Amino acid sequence: MALTRRQFVQVTGAAAAGVAFSGLGSDLTPVRAHAKELKTKGAKETTTICCYCAVGCGAIVQTSQKDGRVINIEGDPDHVINRGALCSKGSSLSQLAENKDRLTQPMYRAPGAKEWKPVSWDWALDTIAKRVKATRDASFMAKNAKGEAVNRTEVIASAGSAALDNEECWIYQAFLRSLGLVYIEHQARI
């Protein structure tokens, strides 16, 4: 029986899940049949790159068609760097996505308040936009103390982020620079 590497991993994964069989030299048909019944059956599979260190290991994300949530994330055997292997953090990726402590709605803390208050996206972004504009307009420097043209604000700063995708980093820097920020920093500096 010809097995692709990917199928081989699925089958051996099933074996690790407790299916009794005496070794890969045997007929794998029943195991394959069982594998089809696993909870990943029919799951959507997407490839990803691990979000922790910068080795750039590949992983496969299996998402349930029923509730749209992650069932499992495992190393991608066809990724040429990690060839299916993951470290302790990469192996725990599904716990990052499916985590009860994740933030799921915007929150606001008023001056002096003791607690967070849930708010809508619209309210939060409208209010932030007003704060940015007011602070920028009040602090904008066309010229520095020497009279040189600078067109900037030194009163708003940004830190972040190496956790963003390339495309997000690029528009973020374009956005910040269009506002005139010069205090733009992120993880690479520390």
Residues 161-180 that bind other proteins (CB under 8 A): 161-180
Any contact of residue 26 with other proteins (CB under 8 A)? Answer: no
Any contact of residue 65 with other proteins (CB under 8 A)? Answer: no
Any contact of residue 4 with other proteins (CB under 8 A)? Answer: no
The residue whose two tokens read 């069982």 is 34
Nearer CB in complex with other proteins: 5/36: 5
Nearer CB in complex with other proteins: 1/149: 149
Q: How many residues does the chain have?
A: 190
* Residues pairing with 74 in the sheet: 60
Any contact of residue 18 with other proteins (CB under 8 A)? Answer: no
In the complex, minimum distance from the CB of residue 95 to other proteins, in angstroms, rounded to a whole number: 4
Distance CA 72, CA 10 (A): 12
**Size of residue set near other proteins by CB under 8 A:** 115
Nearer CB in complex with other proteins: 20/188: 188
Any contact of residue 40 with other proteins (CB under 8 A)? Answer: no
Distance CA 122, CA 124 (A): 5
Evaluated on CA atoms 114, 119, 122, 123, the torsion sign reads: negative
Any contact of residue 109 with other proteins (CB under 8 A)? Answer: yes
Distance CA 159, CA 161 (A): 7
In the complex, minimum distance from the CB of residue 37 to other proteins, in angstroms, rounded to a whole number: 22
Residue 59: what residue type?
Answer: A
Three-state SS letters, 60-77: EEEECCCCCCEEEEEECC
Distance CA 138, CA 64 (A): 50
- Binder among 9, 31, 63, 74 for other proteins (CB under 8 A): 63
Nearer CB in complex with other proteins: 29/88: 88
Tokens for 37, please give them. 């019944």
Judged by CB under 8 A, the stretch of 7-15, 16-24, 25-33, 152-160 that binds other proteins is 152-160
Any contact of residue 8 with other proteins (CB under 8 A)? Answer: no
Element at 17 (helix H, strand E): none
In the complex, minimum distance from the CB of residue 156 to other proteins, in angstroms, rounded to a whole number: 4
For residue 66, give the 3-state DSSP assignment. coil
